[in-house]
């Protein structure tokens, strides 16, 4: 009886150590350098938005945590905590694209300006028909491609 408890304690201890090692690895892995990374996809903003309009869950699975190079016309620029957030829309109803610039990129931005960005796709929010809100495709760590 006592031998079984020792074996169980050892197994639980090893599982705990493996779990802690996994947590340590996840929190300390290096971040992708988006600015120098090769893009996984090169798209027009309207193409990205159209993919979400057609099948949002499929588009999400395709682009999640991928580096995307996007070209489009800025609809709106908003500054939040010294970081520019660019909003793009297309002719496709139902979704907009929000790109949060990397704090180190201080490129001047203005509405109606056409830009090429390299971003990390971060996720999306579905449209809300009840409140008539469009879906929002989110990109982060964006840099202007020069």
Cα–Cα distances (Å) from 16 to 5, 25, 29, 144, in that order, read: 16, 14, 20, 44
Taking only the tens place, the pLDDT of each residue in 20-42 is 888 877 777 666 788 888 999 99
The DSSP symbol for 37 reads S
The alpha carbon of residue 128 and the mean position of all alpha carbons in its chain are separated, in whole angstroms, by: 20
Whether pLDDT at 1 is above 60: no
Of residues 63 and 56, which shows the higher confidence score? 63
pLDDT at res. 29: 65
Please tell me the CATH code under which domain 41-144 is placed.
2.40.50.140
């Amino acid at each position: 009886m006592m031998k079984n408890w020792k074996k169980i304690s050892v197994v639980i201890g090893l599982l705990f150590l493996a779990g802690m090692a996994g947590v340590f690895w996840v929190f300390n892995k290096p971040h992708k350098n988006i600015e120098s990374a090769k893009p996984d996809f090169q798209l027009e903003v309207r193409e990205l938005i159209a993919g979400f309009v057609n099948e949002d869950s499929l588009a999400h699975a395709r682009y999640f945590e991928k580096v995307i190079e996007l070209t489009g016309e800025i609809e709106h620029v908003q500054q939040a905590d010294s970081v520019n957030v660019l909003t793009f829309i297309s002719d496709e109803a139902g979704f907009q694209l929000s790109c949060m610039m990397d704090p180190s990129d201080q490129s001047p931005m203005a509405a109606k300006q056409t830009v090429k960005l390299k971003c990390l796709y971060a996720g999306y929010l579905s449209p809300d028909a009840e409140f008539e809100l469009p879906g929002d495709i989110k990109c982060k760590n964006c840099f202007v491609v020069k």
